[in-house]
Amino acid sequence: MMTIILRLLGFAAVAQWSSAFTDEGALVYPRLLESRRLNGERILKINEDITLSLERTSVFPEKLLIRTHEEGSLINNYVNGSEHNEHLYHDTEKMAAVILNDDDGVSVEGLLRHDLRIQPMLDLERSLEGHVAHMLFPVKQRTPYRGDHGHPPDELNNVPKENSTYPVFRKTKAGL
């Protein structure tokens, strides 16, 4: 009898958890429990079920190359990558990766788990305590298709030393 009750409670908890994350999302008001620990870790409480122990992440180089295409030409622009690292955090245990900004209330955007993402809803009202509204959304799993990956042409492997523009599909005798 106790086993049946435990199974029913477990089923009810799973049903409640999954219904909270419909395609429309679930509204939450994240807050920092501790602004910073000595090791730089930040504790972020998303809701009653999700609390992250965030560590700073550095994934961008100091000089970051951004490539775009414009009218058949490849445009290379370098930006300061360290500026983009400033607000990046991760939680290794929960496999979370987020952009966290607390200049005007806590604003979080990114992945909380492999199947759950968070996004600030700046158009919605703040909580009575002043916390910024956020939505939790399930991550929609994509069906992979044949063209999901590729290899750049050889000429794209040569990284220019400064901002530049050059034709993408220029044929050379060596490339024929």
Residues 6+ apart with CB under 8 A from 154: 175
Mean pLDDT for the chain?
77
Question: 166 falls in which pLDDT band (50, 70, 90)?
Answer: low
Distances (CA, A) of 122 to 65, 104, 106, 125: 30, 11, 11, 8
CA pair distance 28, 160, nearest whole angstrom = 45
Long-range pairs of 9-17 with CB within 8 A, sequence gap ≥ 24: 17/49
Helix, strand, coil shares, percent, the chain, to 5: 15, 40, 45
CB environment 107-116: b (16+ within 10 A), e (fewer) = bbeebbeeeb
Identify the burial level of 28 via C-beta atoms within 10 angstroms of its C-beta, where 0-12 means exposed, 13-18 middle and 19 or more buried. buried
Each residue's pLDDT tens digit, 101-138 = 988 889 999 999 989 999 999 999 999 999 999 999 99
Strands (DSSP E) contained in 114-163 are 116-120, 134-138
Each residue's pLDDT tens digit, 39-50 = 678 999 999 999
Residue 63 tokens read as 């000089």
More confident residue, 64 or 170: 64
Per-residue pLDDT averaged across 78-97, rounded? Answer: 90
Per-residue pLDDT, 23: 56
Predicted model pTM:
0.61
Q: Could you give the percent of the chain with pLDDT greater than 70?
A: 64
Per-residue pLDDT, 147: 59
Per-residue pLDDT, 163: 57
